[in-house]
Structure 1
């Protein structure tokens, strides 16, 4: 049996959330995707960020800057094409620019909504929306718009939590199709690395098996 809607559980099954020693809600959904020993070895700041239970209208915010974004020619073309489904990839090659991230609970799916705001040297900032859902064969999916999404695996290594795309899919009206690897943009790799004192680095890479690295982005954030 699995955890119930209110967070209670059957014996031997980790709850979705419970209160810690300070009375705050502790979210187990990310922790359950990582081996216990590896999770416990992560820095406390990382564990706390991915254990916040954002109930009600609560929003977790992180402020920082995009240090650099690199796009190959194929990566730039892919990013422009993805504008049709909400521009989930950075669309500009850029240097330092302000950035902010907001995370809130997505009640209908039982997951989280992530909103990223990236400043630009010219024009309006780019706003990227995605929804993380704790579902599917890997236990975690990121839905990026237009019915497209990717299944993610999660692992902890030393001071970082690492998300890697397992496969991509399209779903609509109850139909779900797995996208063949030869049609997929490549492997997406996201790293959340602890830097100490409430700071962390965010790195995004998308690498195609034939075209090489398409997208590489490095950003620095701090707890809001």
Structure 2
């Protein structure tokens, strides 16, 4: 796990910066309760602050950035194309140097968050990825991708970074939650949120299959909203 997307330092992207104004209030984070006692407090204050923000009613928290790395194996590309059937939750191309935006809104019922990610392309319309994070299930956090398909996530920390690690995939159909057998899973998913200083952070996605190796590796850099 520690070897996935673990090559980032504050100096590597020192010259990069992009800003967008969108101040938001801060509250108690539900993410903190998903970590063992003491681990949340040991994360950088900037990381904790991002996940403690609460979007006001009718408002959103928006981070602007840029895709800086993307590798997709042929098996990963085929998987991403097949996943179009449930809303294309995986990167469809290898474009880098293109703009990226993440927009987060709160579930009014207080059960989670809605995430919308927009990734530009060198040609054509941008790719829009939408999902819903809910604080429920056996791991305490689930991400719904579309058409009843979701992934249970475990939170952990590594090298001052917050990691979302895939535990298992599931299908919710007619109110029944069916867990996928491990051999049917598309691979081990690790999403890394790591602060690199100056109000910037790395968002890295890795998907590694036990037989086919690395399927996807994408890195985007984002900047915190400018606050008064």
TM-score range, shorter chain: 0.7 to 0.9
Q: Contact 1:38–1:157 (CA<8 Å) still a contact in 2? A: no
3-state SS of the aligned residue for 2:93?
Answer: coil
Shift of 1:108: 4.5
Q: Contact 1:70–1:94 (CA<8 Å) still a contact in 2? A: no
d(CA) in 2 for partners of 1:47 and 1:179? Answer: 32
Structure ranking higher in strand proportion: 1
> Structure 2: which 5+ residue stretches go unaligned?
1-24
d(CA) in 1 for partners of 2:92 and 2:172? Answer: 25
d(CA) in 1 for partners of 2:46 and 2:206? Answer: 23
Shift of 1:25: 4.4
3-state SS of the aligned residue for 2:83?
Answer: helix
Determine whether 1:105 maps to 2:106. yes
Shift of 1:175: 1.5
> Structure 1: which 5+ residue stretches go unaligned?
1-23
CA offset digits 1:120-151 (Å, max 9, x no partner): 00000000000000000100000001110000
Question: How many residues are paired up?
Answer: 201
d(CA) in 2 for partners of 1:116 and 1:95? Answer: 15
3-state SS of the aligned residue for 2:38?
Answer: helix
Q: Contact 2:26–2:49 (CA<8 Å) still a contact in 1? A: no
3-state SS of the aligned residue for 1:78?
Answer: helix
d(CA) in 1 for partners of 2:159 and 2:58? Answer: 33
Question: Relative contact order, CA 8 A, sep 6+: which one is greater?
Answer: 2
TM-score, normalised via structure 2 length: 0.85
d(CA) in 2 for partners of 1:29 and 1:109? Answer: 10
What residue in structure 2 maps to residue 166 of structure 1? 167
**Which protein is bigger by CA-based radius of gyration?**
1
d(CA) in 2 for partners of 1:158 and 1:58? Answer: 32
